[in-house]
A and B are shown apart, each in its own frame.
Chain A
């Protein structure tokens, strides 16, 4: 069972906006930044969002992130077929003294 909690699935039609949540604790997201990764099956995770709401170079501004208390969210607007992938949240956990991950959300573009 993963330390961070995500919904197992999400879906939307092209052009829609979808949001993926990530729930943690006071020692993880409550005290540290949330980061998001996109993983296409058969490849390594790719950094999508860091420090809650910062996009690495090359990530479209359709992707946005936020954090409130012990939870974080990833929003994807103007959904495209190429966004179909697994999305994971991650954070440092000060009590466990290690990185923790969500169980992943499989995004389907209908």
Chain B
């Protein structure tokens, strides 16, 4: 059974960097058949995919066009984790952030973390 446990601050100031980590149990971040994603949900934007990282003999990343200039997703194989960094945040980035696994489809989700951008 795959479990994803998210961690990170719930409050970030405008213009700063939002950082979240997702710890994986029951699978490996460097598994060849899956990808590791970040998705957010807000009343104004609904569910929005932010990007993914995956390993296929080397690491690959894909990012959503809406955040491509501000987002970085990295994997840490020593801790079996992956992380999200979103820089230069504004109140529009206030949302519930989820980490999730894809195995052809999004099958496992983290518990979600509300991140508020406010001074």
Contacts and interface: CB of A to CB of B under 8 A. Distances in A.
Most buried by B among A37, A97, A100, A101: A101
A104 B105 CA distance: 18
Interface range on chain A (Cβ under 8 Å from partner): 20 to 34
Interface string A27-53: 000000101010000011111001100
Contacts of B111: 44
10 contacts: A33-B104, A44-B110, A44-B111, A44-B112, A88-B47, A98-B49, A98-B64, A99-B49, A99-B102, A100-B49
Contacts, number: 54
Given A44-B111, A44-B112, A96-B65, A101 B49 contact: yes
Interface in A54-103: 56, 88, 90, 96-103
Contacts of B104: 33, 50-51
A44 B108 CA distance: 9
Interface string B97-110: 01000101111111
B26 interface: no
A101 B47 contact: yes
B109 A45 contact: yes
Contacts of A100: 49
Most buried by A among B39, B46, B98, B104: B46
